[in-house]
Amino acid sequence: MKTSWLWALAWLLAGPLAAQPRTYCNPIDIDYRYNYEQLNDSISYRSAADPVIINHRGEYYLFATISGGWWHSPDLATWRFVTPDKWPMEDMCAPAALSVRDTLYLFQSTFEQRPIFYSLQPAQGKLRFYNRWLPRLPPLIGPWDPALFHDPDTERWYMYWGSSNNFPLFGAELDKNRRLTYKNPADYRPLIFLHPEKHGWERFGPNHTSPIKPFMEGAWMTKHRGQYFLQYGAPGTEYNVYANGTYVGSHPLGPFTYAPYNPISYRPGGFATGAGHGNTFQDNYGNYWNTGTCWVAVNWNFERRIVMFPAGFDADNQLFANTRFGDWPHWLPTRRWQQKDELFTGWMLLNYRKPATASSTLDTLQAQRVTDENPRTFWVARHNRPGEWLATDLGAPCRVHAVQVNFTDYRSNLFATDSTVYTAFKISTSLNGTDWQAVADLTQGPRRDRACAYVELPAPVRARYLRYEHGHVAAPHLAISALRVFGQGEGRGPATPRSLQVRRQTDARNADVNWQPVPGAVGYNILWGIAPGKLYQTYQVWAEAPPQLELRALTVGQTYYFAIEAFNENGVSKVSEVVGPR
């Protein structure tokens, strides 16, 4: 395609370090926009949430809440922001997007009457009215957080919606002969409700510990092997346990049955926590992906980023997303994958809690915070000027493959994204801390803002030290929450943890997990699922914490199986023997 050719030319002209990326890393590397939410308290920050990624005619389009447009990518790695030529009445919150044949459809969350839009040229931002108004639904019903669905086997159209801790998810059939208005405005129906009294992962709060009534939102429909998977996000976007679940039915409007393996996408531990309110799509090789919203919450509880995870359906038609090492580098597929973990590069996090130093520090916002894997702690330089630097000591020589720099909006004053809003920096490495070699230069080439800048090196570099050298950020302060270095250490990986014990509590939504610590481990992945061969869930914990976890995401009446693995800078242990049923 012409568009793909232009993208390739842009990468070529940008220089030798702009080779086509082979990997990606969550949170995904897009130019997150300064959006309306900061106006609540005159707080400025970048954010995006509630993603929908659509494969339209072999290329990808990303829509997110209050972004002033959308992103276009030929490869799921390089994203270009598109400003539409005609934007609707107001910016879109949690939009619905759908590709059917040559047309991309777009619809916004609303409690009023709003139109469905369409585009035949979304890469060029061409947007037109498909219909003028959908009839208004009763107050508080919506459609908020909508999803559009076209059943290719029947040529019938549907819409799903809902975002509330009082109302369920609703669904209705649309009439294609009347330009996708409701067949009967009164014929919408409730489809699914939350049941936190039975489903532990649907409970609100950090690690499901709040008594507040949880929220259900983010509807999405996927059809696979004759079954309809109605997906939803819960229990709340502002916590580490935000996740996607699914109900399954044999008709687009149900009845639906709760899937015993829920949640399907769940990442409560790590750097980019939270995986809820996204969608499921297929790439050009037939691989499935599940998108979601991860939690930042530096300036406001609803400051967020976007993640995507490899997903799929197993032999029993069970839908799952793989969040194991979910915010570490993964390969971009070049074919249909056969084994759920094969996209993980094996590039380990090399500098977790390793020493960090900086050219200057503002107040007490010290450099050491950039290696703690917490997006809510950060370093701030005394001055925002070129030449300020931030360095990390890996402790021993390693093979460095990639770097991720996560910027923070600290006391920012930006309320719009324009040509002055961009990031620029250089990355250098050293074996002795004195002699430095430049390995990436993002001060050259096209300018764009990269709040979660991911830099894959064209070839691995042996180094003990890595340094960020500042060029430009548009905000008043240079603030970085994480300088994450990925690669392979030259030592031995950890042993397999022993003595894994799991005990369901009297409240069967909870289980106590204990294990014997492993010398040299940096962290552990607790793996679980509804069968020994279906350990699709992962909870990542760090080794400095006690070797125990209260897991509060289980379903009453459902049996589970558990295993554990350890990891460090050098690799991952073998998975332990499976414990269960529990």
Are 401 and 458 in contact by the 8 Å Cβ rule? The answer is: no
Distance CA 393, CA 217 (A): 43
Q: Which residues contact 184 (CB under 8 A, 6 or more apart)?
A: none
**CATH 2.60.40.10 in the chain, residues?**
498-572
Read off the amino acid at residue 233. Answer: G
**CATH 2.115.10.20 in the chain, residues?**
46-339
36 φ/ψ angles, rounded to the nearest 5 degrees: -65, -25
Buried b (16+ CB within 10 A) or exposed e, 475-490: bebbbbbbbbbbbbbe
For 416-437, how does the pLDDT look when each residue is reduced to its tens digit (9 = 90+)? 888 899 999 999 999 999 999 9
Q: For residue 37, what pLDDT is reported? A: 63
β-pairing, 511-516 vs 498-504, is antiparallel
CATH code of the region 349-489: 2.60.120.260
For 352-404, how does the pLDDT look when each residue is reduced to its tens digit (9 = 90+)? 999 999 999 999 999 999 999 999 999 999 999 999 999 999 999 999 999 99
Distance CA 313, CA 544 (A): 35
Read off the amino acid at residue 407. Answer: F
> The whole model's pTM is what?
0.95
Q: What angle do CA 397, 399, 402 make, to 5 degrees?
A: 125
For CA atoms 172, 174, 180, 182, give the dihedral sign: negative
Distance CA 122, CA 1 (A): 14
Res 194 pLDDT > 60: yes
Q: For residue 139, what pLDDT is reported? A: 83
- Across the range 490-497, mean pLDDT stands at 97
Q: For residue 26, what pLDDT is reported? A: 98
Res 2 pLDDT > 80: no
529 φ/ψ angles, rounded to the nearest 5 degrees: -175, -175
The answer regarding whether domain 46-339 maps to CATH 2.115.10.20 reads yes
Q: For residue 38, what pLDDT is reported? A: 60
260 φ/ψ angles, rounded to the nearest 5 degrees: -65, -15
- CB-count exposure of residue 364 (10 Å: 0-12, 13-18, 19+): exposed
Q: How many Cβ atoms sit within 10 Å of the Cβ of residue 411?
A: 13
Class of domain 498-572: mainly beta
Res 39 pLDDT > 80: no
At 184, the pLDDT band (50, 70, 90 cuts) reads confident
Distance CA 180, CA 522 (A): 53
Read off the amino acid at residue 371. Answer: T
Res 17 pLDDT > 50: no
The β-bridge partners of 190 are: 170
Pick the more confident residue, 494 or 418. 494
**CATH 2.60.120.260 in the chain, residues?**
349-489
